[in-house]
Amino acid sequence: MSAAVQVIRDSSAGPAGRCAVTIGAYDGIHLGHQAVIARTRAEAERHDAATAVVTFDRHPASVVRPESAPRLLTTLDQKLELLEALDVDHVYVVQFDEVRAAESAEDFAREVLVGCLRATTVVVGADFHFGRGRTGDVAMLEAFGREHDFETIGLDLVGRTDTAGAVVSSTAIRAAVAEGDLEAAARMLGRVHELWGTVVHGDARGRTLGFPTANVAVPEPLLLPADGIYAAWYVRPNGERHAAAVNIGRRPTFYDDQPASLVEAFLLDFDGDLYGEAARVAFVRRLRPELRFDSVDALVERMHADVAETRTVLGLGA
């Protein structure tokens, strides 16, 4: 991995040298994003320049069309960590607000690409759009680049390996996650899907059942997988990784009116205090949907079976 990525939040604080640049929401940093970044890195090497990713502090749709803005796959901190792992030198995090939403594509390109990052090359997906009214696209960047000394490369989208004719996209991954198909999501991400959150106090019901759980509060913009039981890995801030059976849902055996799904992780073979810790839950496979049981005994019996299946799925044996 390269040195720590430099995060830029002000166009007046750009890097000293020139950059090969890519722009996008980059939610998920999936295989398509990774291909664009790899090409950007190659262009940086060709021009003896740095690599820069321009992204946003929130999804632009949350400002432009909040009523239909998508739930997100990654927090900004996740995104920055993933970009650093891809050997990106600089990430310019644009504060996206109503002023930015009203800005023309030309003004944005002039400030960010030319003024701040001094672009040698701009690499984007062939379907990329930006600026007021989505008027910025590959053709616009090509024309603008001829005037401002940078080349534009529009890349074809990456095809899915499991669905003929379909492409890898954040939208497709969100659909897979929402359906609980975490294996399909992993194929498009190039890694298992993770949720980041903080462990908070719950109602301690799991402890009374013999299955104490870490209740992971997930930031509001993030998308939860479909309700159900999952085999997962739970990662603590110190890097410790623990096998976990994770319930996402509203606990219908006990409650009829839960307003939202909760994320509860039972760490196998673990006894310790996790309250207040940052948590990462890396989902491997959905085992079953969430069910309502006729008795607590029936629920506990099924929970034992879920733990045994989690061990099998994670390759831990009996």
Q: 45 and 97 in one domain?
A: yes
Mean pLDDT of 283-308: 91
The answer to the question of residue 164 being in a domain is: no
Mean pLDDT of 3-23: 92
Q: What is the pLDDT of residue 4?
A: 86
Mean pLDDT of 167-191: 97
Mean pLDDT of 22-43: 97
Q: What is the pLDDT of residue 291?
A: 85
Check which CATH number belongs to the domain holding 213 and give it.
2.40.30.30
Q: 141 and 30 in one domain?
A: yes
Mean pLDDT of 108-128: 96
**pLDDT over 70 (residue 3):** no
CB atoms within 10 A of CB 18: 19
| Number of independent structural domains in the chain | 2
Q: 288 and 220 in one domain?
A: yes
Query: Of 200, 211, 196, 298, which is closest to residue 247 (Cα–Cα)?
Result: 211
By percentage, how much of the chain surpasses pLDDT 70?
94
**pLDDT over 90 (residue 318):** no
Q: How far is CA 59 from CA 68, 232, 254, in A?
A: 11, 27, 36
Q: What is the pLDDT of residue 242?
A: 97
Q: What is the pLDDT of residue 164?
A: 85
Domain end residue (candidates: 129, 155, 181): 155
**Please, are residues 33 and 26 in contact by the beta-carbon 8 Å criterion?**
yes
Q: 239 and 144 in one domain?
A: no
Q: What is d(CA 305, CA 183) in angstroms, rounded to the nearest whole number? A: 21
Domain end residue (candidates: 155, 177, 206): 155
| Per-residue pLDDT tens digits for 17-30 | 999 999 999 999 99
Mean pLDDT of 59-68: 94
Check which CATH number belongs to the domain holding 59 and give it.
3.40.50.620
Q: What is the pLDDT of residue 206?
A: 61
CB atoms within 10 A of CB 151: 16
The answer to the question of residue 174 being in a domain is: no
The answer to the question of residue 166 being in a domain is: no
**pLDDT over 80 (residue 205):** no
Q: What is the pLDDT of residue 308?
A: 96
Q: How far is CA 124 from CA 114, 138, 318, in A?
A: 16, 8, 48
Query: Of 82, 291, 43, 76, which is closest to residue 190 (Cα–Cα)?
Result: 82
Q: 113 and 59 in one domain?
A: yes
Q: 220 and 138 in one domain?
A: no
**Please, are residues 121 and 47 in contact by the beta-carbon 8 Å criterion?**
yes
Mean of per-residue pLDDT scores for the chain: 93
Model confidence band, residue 35 (pLDDT cutoffs 50, 70, 90): very high
**Please, are residues 96 and 60 in contact by the beta-carbon 8 Å criterion?**
yes
| Per-residue pLDDT tens digits for 122-143 | 999 999 999 999 999 999 999 9
Domain hosting residue 29, numbered range: 6-155
Q: What is the pLDDT of residue 1?
A: 39
Q: 150 and 15 in one domain?
A: yes
Q: 211 and 145 in one domain?
A: no
Q: 219 and 94 in one domain?
A: no
Q: What is d(CA 57, CA 248) in angstroms, rounded to the nearest whole number? A: 27
**For residue 185, what are the contacts with CB-CB under 8 A and spacing of at least 6?**
173, 176, 177, 193
Domain end residue (candidates: 96, 130, 155): 155
Mean pLDDT of 223-252: 93
Q: 241 and 127 in one domain?
A: no
Q: What is the pLDDT of residue 120?
A: 98
Q: 105 and 29 in one domain?
A: yes
**pLDDT over 60 (residue 253):** no
Model confidence band, residue 294 (pLDDT cutoffs 50, 70, 90): confident
